Structure 1
Amino acid sequence: MGKPTGFMEYQRLSEAYAPVDKRLKNYKEFVVRLNDEQAAIQGARCMDCGVPFCNNGCPVNNIIPDWNDLVYRGHWREAIEVLHSTNNFPEFTGRICPAPCEAACTLNINTDAVGIKSIEHAIIDKAWDEGWVVPQPADEKTGRKVAVVGSGPAGLAVAQQLARAGHDVTVFEKNDRVGGLLRYGIPDFKLEKWLIDRRVEQMQAEGVRFRTGVLVGAKDMPAGIVNDAREVISAEQLQQDFDAVVLAGGAEVPRDLPVPGRELGGVHFALEFLIPQNKQVTGDTPNPISAKGKHVVVIGGGDTGSDCVGTSNRHGAASVTQFELMPMPPAQENKPLTWPYWPTKLRTSSSHDEGCERDFAVATKEFIGKNGKVKALKACRLEWKDGRMSEVPGSEFEIKADLVLFAMGFTNPVGGVLEAFGVDKDARGNARASTDGDGCYTTSVPKVFAAGDIRRGQSLVVWAIREGRQCARAVDEFLMGGSLLPR
């Protein structure tokens, strides 16, 4: 695997970023991928560890040591074949996946992990550049019809796998363009949208039909949900017209913060800010929410919060502050305790590097307004003990806030979809569908399946792709009595 002594000879080389002052002027991607020679050297660091924990650390079980070795030896064409054997969309994961595979890397026990994500990025981009990524239509059609509800990574993975198995697949998307939260939840500076369009063209050539602006099951959307639907199709109609239905929508209902002043102008859910910005970058109408010259407070310390920080900086915010309810994690994880699992440690994103004050163990108590608009935020400090939090007496403080963005995660799928199909839900409001044994990914309703965030809750793009691939095999088995699709 790679060069036997490579991990002792070569240091980890991370991908470079464009300078902050340049990248803040636009919404283009700014990560500079490794060149062929650099990627080969990084592949050489993959040690002959005996048990490649990275395979299990990766939700799609990428065969990482194999393509590291192929890149090291210059066999790029074979590398993309191995990579595509487990992952339909490595150009997405190579950009936005947090790389749990690297946390599980054997080298990560006591030194820097292999730069797996950067090598994956290099493989797929080179494959597209060389024209190695082409449509793979089925040799024979089965005559079976499948509806996929939702065009995020889970829905796209389901659709591509089933189309390649010979089924007629139609994807229904409530918004005006394909991609789900890949399209509208992730800023262009992390994932440019032509990457999605390129995959959609490939899938269309493989026989997948896309119907956008179509809402399935429910007419009304809760607050914080963007809905471009021009047409509504009932659950009964889909069940009548198709041999199987896959529910692959996202967990889009945002977590709210019902404190005094919540109703003030300038207090928004994160996606109310991010989605219109992505549409503006695409060429649609301007974002109605502007951070220019404003004191922005982002509540929530995850990826969505980081996206709000980066977008606010590109707007030209006067200041950006990010609050996190949990205490500040350690700068370095306790590797003997956490490896090979995903560790809790302080993570600083490229958006944080562009300008952001972060504060931890802080709770918001009130929004203070003037003339109906938020002007300040009242907060307090928290003490955590035995997993429980309590307010530190006398710790209240105020901070200027002209724009407040909630980035505290998402709770469950959009209301009405699961009810329209009559699907049983779990305690968190997600579709109840087991991934074990016979009938995996099947719901309580005959021929209706569920995969991705709508089943497991808010999660990573790589988990969505895994579930989409596995669900596709389950659907194929249901329709045909067996399947040659990978598990």
Structure 2
Amino acid sequence: MGKVTGFMEFARVEEGYEAADKRKQHYKEFVLTLSDEQAKVQGARCMDCGIPFCNNGCPVNNIIPDFNDLVYHQDWKAAIETLHSTNNFPEFTGRICPAPCEAACTLGIHELPVGIKSIEHAIIDKAWANGWVQPQPPLQKTGKKVAIVGSGPAGLAAAQQLARAGHDVTVFEKSSRIGGLLRYGIPDFKLDKGNIDRRLEQLKAEGVVFKTGVYVGKGGLPKGVGSDAKQTIDPEQLKAEFDAVVLAAGSEIPRDLPVPGRELEGVHFAMEFLPQQNKVNAGDKLKDQIKATGKHVVVIGGGDTGSDCVGTSNRHGAKSVTQFELMPMPPEKENKMLVWPYWPTKLRTSSSHDEGCERDWSITTKSFKGENGKLKAVVTARVEWTKDEKTGQMKMTEVAGSEKELPADLVFLAMGFVNPLGSMLEAFGVDKDGRGNAKASTEGAGAYATNVPKVFAAGDVRRGQSLVVWAIREGRQAARAVDEFLMGESVLPR
């Protein structure tokens, strides 16, 4: 490594944030990227540890020690070439990935890990600023046509890889804009949509064709989904016109909370709320936008989506924001000797929580109460978790006398997603696994192939709700599988 003793000499430096009271006034990104010198120091902290567990901790297997060393030597152009060799969109992961690579960092066993995510962020931002991110059109075309259904990170990664292999790629998206979860699920203050738009220009220059407002399925549009779609394409037509089809439509069916009062006005899924603000930020005019201004807001679910609801509600000017989680409060620090190099369960506080939020754990929602059809309160109770001695499973028991009523004008259900659109899979005739996802193996001959000839599946539609970085990985691997299917062999990386 460039600085053999760097890990003993330098401390971790975190990316800075704009002050909370200021950033709550807008929807722009507020993370302060590392300076060149700060990034160099972080690169110097990377140990010559022999076995870089960070590589396997990263789902796309980024070659992390190499680009850390290149940043230490300030060879930024070689650093972006190394980073792009495994990751099509480091501007996405450098902003929104939870960084499982850092959890696997060897230095992290006894010190704070190397700031890998912040280094990645710095590399790609410098690459864009210096014009090093250029289209890479294929030298020759294959004459094969591939359709990709869904334009989230899995679909975009597959599209870029297949286009660079020389295939004619068309991406179909039911919404009016390309990007899927990146566009509509992640707030602008975490991911400025200009990052998506400039990638789309690159993909178009590489030959990818995008068709928006198109739902691929049968029997019209599913209720509440794809409201931007103006056209429906039958899967049979798609299979007839293309040599291969990749389903990359994500996991979109949210987990519901069927308790008394669920039907009251003011109880919404998180993904009814978040996309609306992103659309307004993009200049759309919406009728009856869900607004948290001056309201008591309760967010049910303690993950990233719940955190995004917190941050957006604060920017609306909510009167109060409370977030519940059914599971117990995680420990503030993990037992590294027990969990390393795997992703640890520990208390995580997001920038949105720092902007103002009451949090509580081991809380179950018993009912919603309202007046004249409008939500007025949430009835909760505290629960205890104990391990069943026979099965070893955790068992939940309500604490007697712990029932409580909390004022609430808005409730956002952010408890995860259970399935992709079943109607789409059924329209293609694709078999489902036990969880309702598209059934397809990732290994061996026929990787990512479904039971339907020449139809493949990748990303959340196959694996279930997961991270953006996992979607990129699956999109890349599916692209290689499709290329092998079409050409008999492939030079695309897996």
TM-score (norm 1): 0.99
1:146 aligned partner: 146
1:43-442 pair list within 5 angstroms = 43-219=43-219, 225-286=225-286, 288-386=289-387, 387-442=394-449
Q: More displaced, 433-442 or 285-294?
A: 285-294
Q: More displaced, 258-267 or 280-289?
A: 280-289
Amino acid at match of 1:303: D
What is the Cα deviation at residue 2 of structure 1? 3.8
Q: More displaced, 345-354 or 385-394?
A: 385-394
For the residue of structure 2 that corresponds to 1:42, the secondary structure is: helix
Q: Distance in 1 between matches of 2:442 and 2:128?
A: 33
For the residue of structure 1 that corresponds to 2:411, the secondary structure is: strand
Report % sequence identity.
Answer: 74
Deviations 1:313-345 (A, max 9, x none): 000000000000000000000000000000000
Asked whether 1:486 is paired with 2:493, we answer yes
What is the Cα deviation at residue 449 of structure 1? 0.2
Q: Distance in 1 between matches of 2:97 and 2:227?
A: 26
Q: Is the 8 A contact 2:333 2:347 kept in 1?
A: yes
2:478 aligned partner: 471
What is the Cα deviation at residue 436 of structure 1? 1.1
Q: Distance in 1 between matches of 2:226 and 2:29?
A: 24
Q: Is the 8 A contact 2:135 2:205 kept in 1?
A: yes
What is the Cα deviation at residue 218 of structure 1? 3.7
Q: Is the 8 A contact 1:222 1:415 kept in 2?
A: no
Q: Is the 8 A contact 1:313 1:320 kept in 2?
A: yes
Q: Is the 8 A contact 1:221 1:414 kept in 2?
A: no
Q: Distance in 2 between matches of 1:418 and 1:404?
A: 31
Q: Is the 8 A contact 1:225 1:253 kept in 2?
A: no
Q: Is the 8 A contact 2:222 2:423 kept in 1?
A: no
For the residue of structure 2 that corresponds to 1:416, the secondary structure is: helix
For the residue of structure 1 that corresponds to 2:469, the secondary structure is: helix
Gaps of 5+ in 1: none
What is the Cα deviation at residue 415 of structure 1? 2.5
Q: Distance in 1 between matches of 2:198 and 2:122?
A: 17
Q: Is the 8 A contact 2:215 2:221 kept in 1?
A: no
- How many residues are matched? 487
TM-score (norm 2): 0.98
Closer/same/farther in 2, CA of residues 50 and 432 from structure 1, 3 Å limit:
same
Q: Distance in 2 between matches of 1:110 and 1:285?
A: 52
Q: Is the 8 A contact 1:2 1:45 kept in 2?
A: no
Q: Distance in 2 between matches of 1:218 and 1:296?
A: 38
Q: Distance in 1 between matches of 2:432 and 2:205?
A: 36
Deviations 1:136-173 (A, max 9, x none): 00000000000000000000000000000000000000
Deviations 1:235-274 (A, max 9, x none): 0000000000000011000000010000000000001000
For the residue of structure 2 that corresponds to 1:190, the secondary structure is: coil
Deviations 1:388-430 (A, max 9, x none): 1110111100101000000000000012110011001000000
Deviations 1:431-487 (A, max 9, x none): 000011111000000000000000000000000000000000000000000000001
Q: Is the 8 A contact 1:224 1:253 kept in 2?
A: no
What is the Cα deviation at residue 196 of structure 1? 0.4
Q: More displaced, 221-230 or 166-175?
A: 221-230
Amino acid at match of 2:415: M
Give the counterpart of 2:469 among 462, 465, 469: 462
